[in-house]
Amino acid sequence: MYGITALISAALIAYALTIGFVWDEGFHVVAAQLIERGKTPYIDFCFPQTPLNAYWNAALMRVFGEHWRVLHVFASLEIAAAMFLTAQFILSRFPVARWRTPAAIVAVCFIGLHSEVVEFGPVAQAYAIGMLLLIAAFRVALAFPDRPRSPSLAFGAGLLAGGAAGCTLLTAPAAPVLLLWFWLQARGAAPLRTAAALISGVLIPFTPVFWLFAEAPRVVFFNIVQYQAIFRRVDWPGATPHDVDVLSSWLVDGQTLLMGLLALFGVYFVWKRSQWPLPQSRPLYLAAGIAVALILYIATAHPTFSRYFIVAAPLVSILAAVGLYAAASRLADSNRPLWPTAILVVLIVLGYGRALFDERDATTWGDYEQLAKKVDEVTPKNGVLYADELVYFLLKRAPPSGMEFSYSHKLGLPAAEEKLYHLISEKELVAEVKAGRFDTVQTCNDDKIDEMHLEEVFAKKKELKDCSVYWDKKPQDLARSNK
């Protein structure tokens, strides 16, 4: 099991350093870079996320340098740690001794070889650290029934769960489930004190948010609450069909379908059929409770995405390992775990290989490095640049105010609110491009090229893969006459 975990971890790092790329990393890496240079999220720039992952990335860049590879390696290691904690739980807690190693191997493969985890986990976003902190909180919570008079365990579990939510609010439902768990397991041993300890732990990671809220309550509320609740779906008429597509995508995703069905069967087995005593099945109930809460909560996001659900992968993989044992014990000889495990692992590996094959022509950080090199070559040292967040990061250039988070351009808020929240609308950007504010414009969006009439504003153009770079502004009178 340890060898397979190490091998998968090495594969994740190799993927992260070569193919690993998500376009949405852009505003995360820019936020971390700005923080590393002394800027404050919300107060100095728009960042509609809880801030701990950005501060963590900034700390990594401060120590190891401002490079995307640094962030990718540490995200891969976070997934590796989540796999280890999951596997070690199964090795120590799975009720059937003969199945402990096979079940642990299956759980590790379901996490580290799942196509969504591989694609979106080892990057600069908060999925990896969210997974790690959640499974760590789960492991700490399991120690409480043996030490019901130890509020420090409740505090520790709350601190980890709060840290996960402080990195990404996708993990927020874990905290109330853990609160219920500790309350029920206190067994009369000061449940109020235990609950208070857990809540205190949850709140501590949000100290930066509370501090910034005291300084600028309206700005912080917009970034963390208002944007997520209202503005994510602005100018997206197809958001509802998109959600239907995402929520039904498991039907055509073999890995997710297999994992989900085995997890459901595992829960059913423990609940209805298992002869396991309560101390052995209790941890599985907690895993199921947190996993269900996460999945239901994430499913209500509008719009939602398949990658959001990977924060629940370690917990679901535990239940799937139980489901494999339950299925094998009914369809074959439960004393022979080799063949059921081998067949399932082969199916998971084949799904992993298919995902890599599908990504063979995808954009990578290497492509953006070439793009950034060209942008740097044609942009004056003190020139004004319009570019994707990824290019700003690679060139170590601070974006112009309002351009740190490109999705915000579609909001079109009143001018006073845009100034307060550090936003700039698409309409204003188009006008500024046409007016010649920018010395260089880089975009990978053909609609923007047409809307901004870039061919009329700039004399020179270079296409790199699916992106374009424009520079050498035409005289304004010539640009107007062309228009």
Q: Are 332 and 450 found together in one domain?
A: no
Cis upstream peptide for 176 (omega within 30°): no
Give whole-number Cα distances, 283 to 155, 314, 318, 348, 404, in Å.
19, 13, 10, 25, 43
Q: Are 308 and 446 found together in one domain?
A: no
Instruction: List the one residue out of 205, 267, 219 whose CA is nearest residue 417.
Output: 219
Buried residues in 444-466 as b, exposed as e (16+ CB within 10 A): beeebbeebebeebbeeeeebee
Indicate the residue among 335, 358, 381 that finishes a domain.
Answer: 358
Classify the phi-psi angles of 151: left when phi > 0, otherwise alpha if psi is within -120 to 50, otherwise beta.
Answer: alpha
Instruction: List the one residue out of 386, 473, 394 whose CA is nearest residue 430.
Output: 386
Whether the Cβ atoms of residue 364 and residue 68 lie closer than 8 Å to each other = no
Q: Are 354 and 378 found together in one domain?
A: no
What is the domain count for the chain? Answer: 2
Indicate the residue among 358, 375, 399 that finishes a domain.
Answer: 358
What is the pLDDT at residue 234?
76
Which two three-digit tokens encode residue 248? 């039904």
The DSSP bridge pattern shows strands 467-473 and 440-443 to be: antiparallel
Residues in the chain, pLDDT under 50: 478, 481
Q: Residue 307 has what DSSP assignment?
A: G
What is the pLDDT at residue 274?
66
Q: Residue 203 has what DSSP assignment?
A: H
Q: Are 398 and 335 found together in one domain?
A: no
- Dihedral of CA 243/249/251/256: which sign? negative
Compute φ and ψ for 402, nearest 5 degrees: 95, -5
Which two three-digit tokens encode residue 429? 């950007």
The neighbour count for residue 98, using CB atoms within 10 Å, is 13
Contacts of 62 (CB under 8 A, 6+ apart): 36
Q: Are 339 and 427 found together in one domain?
A: no
Classify the phi-psi angles of 187: left when phi > 0, otherwise alpha if psi is within -120 to 50, otherwise beta.
Answer: left
Contacts of 172 (CB under 8 A, 6+ apart): 165, 297
What is the pLDDT at residue 189?
63
Q: Residue 446 has what DSSP assignment?
A: H
The 3-state DSSP class for residue 445 equals coil
Q: Are 390 and 308 found together in one domain?
A: no
Compute φ and ψ for 285, nearest 5 degrees: -65, -40
What is the pLDDT at residue 273?
67
The neighbour count for residue 164, using CB atoms within 10 Å, is 31
Task: Estimate the share of the chain in helix, then strand, then coil, as percent rounded to the nearest 5.
Answer: 70, 5, 25
Q: Are 46 and 146 found together in one domain?
A: yes
DSSP 27-45: HHHHHHHHHHTT--BTTTB
Whether the Cβ atoms of residue 49 and residue 225 lie closer than 8 Å to each other = no
Residues counted in the chain:
483
Give whole-number Cα distances, 111 to 310, 313, 338, in Å.
9, 6, 20
pTM of the shown model: 0.93
Q: Are 304 and 381 found together in one domain?
A: no
First to last CA, the chain: 66
Q: What range defines the domain where residue 463 resides?
A: 365-482
Contacts of 476 (CB under 8 A, 6+ apart): 435, 436
DSSP 45-70: B---S-SHHHHHHHHHHHHH-S-HHH
Task: Dump pLDDT digits (tens) for 56-97.
Answer: 999 999 999 999 999 999 999 999 999 999 999 999 999 889
Instruction: List the one residue out of 223, 123, 140, 125 whose CA is nearest residue 174.
Output: 140
Q: Are 307 and 372 found together in one domain?
A: no
Q: Which residues pair with 467 in a beta bridge?
A: 464
Indicate the residue among 358, 377, 405 that finishes a domain.
Answer: 358
Return d(Cα 266, Cα 111) in angstroms, integer: 17
Q: Are 445 and 338 found together in one domain?
A: no
List alpha helices for 189-236, DSSP H: 191-203, 207-215, 217-221, 227-229
Q: Are 235 and 172 found together in one domain?
A: yes
Q: Are 167 and 288 found together in one domain?
A: yes
